[in-house]
Structure 1
């Protein structure tokens, strides 16, 4: 069965190094909290708010050892007035036998309030 694992983080500014670093941290945290291996991943969708344009966050995942063949796609998030700025959102589609309630969604940095009802704080 395929389940979606959600996550999001923010960057302080639109620069490639910070985008790569924060994307890796978010992805690695999702993997760790959900015990996910590269071979379990069907695909990953990453979106960014319109104010992030200096780098493709997907590149950060492809640089990780063992993840070069995982399908990853970047896209732009809707430009909604007063929404969270400089935000990177991620949806990891994973093959798992875990139930929906067992999935641990991860929200970091300024994105912690987006789904505080679904993310664990530790």
Structure 2
């Protein structure tokens, strides 16, 4: 079964170094917490708010060994009024036997406000 695994983080500057570092941290935690192997991933979507344009956040996934061939696409998040600024969001489509309620979604650096109900841990 393919499950969507979500995550988000924010950055404090629109620079390549900051964007890639924050996105790498997000990917690393999402991968570790869900025990994801690259061969089980169908695709990854990464979106950014309008105020982030100094680098493609997908570049961070290429720094992780074994993830070279996973399809990744970056896109622009909808500019909804009063939405969280300087935000990078990830949606990873993973083949897994995990039940939906056991998928761990990861929100970092202030992005927890997007889904406080998920709290970076599996439902109990």
Specify the TM-score bucket, using the shorter chain as the normaliser: over 0.9
**Residue 48 of structure 1 aligns with which residue?**
48
- Secondary structure at 1:19 match in 2: helix
Cα distance in 1 between the residues matched to 2:119 and 2:66 = 27
- Secondary structure at 1:113 match in 2: helix
TM-score, normalising length from structure 1?
0.96
Cα distance in 2 between the residues matched to 1:22 and 1:45 = 16
**Residue 98 of structure 2 aligns with which residue?**
98
Deviation at 1:56, TM superposition (A): 0.2
**Residue 72 of structure 1 aligns with which residue?**
72
Any unmatched runs of 5+ in structure 1? Answer: none
Deviation at 1:57, TM superposition (A): 0.4
* Equivalences, count: 121
Cα distance in 2 between the residues matched to 1:120 and 1:68 = 26
**Residue 11 of structure 1 aligns with which residue?**
11
Cα distance in 1 between the residues matched to 2:119 and 2:43 = 21
Any unmatched runs of 5+ in structure 2? Answer: none
Q: More deviation in 1-10 or 33-42?
A: 33-42
Deviation at 1:28, TM superposition (A): 0.5
TM-score, normalising length from structure 2?
0.95
Deviation at 1:18, TM superposition (A): 0.5
Cα distance in 2 between the residues matched to 1:99 and 1:65 = 27
Q: Sort the Cα spacing of 1:64 and 1:120 in 2 relative to 1 into closer, same or farther, 3 A.
A: closer
- Secondary structure at 2:78 match in 1: coil
Q: More deviation in 61-70 or 88-97?
A: 61-70
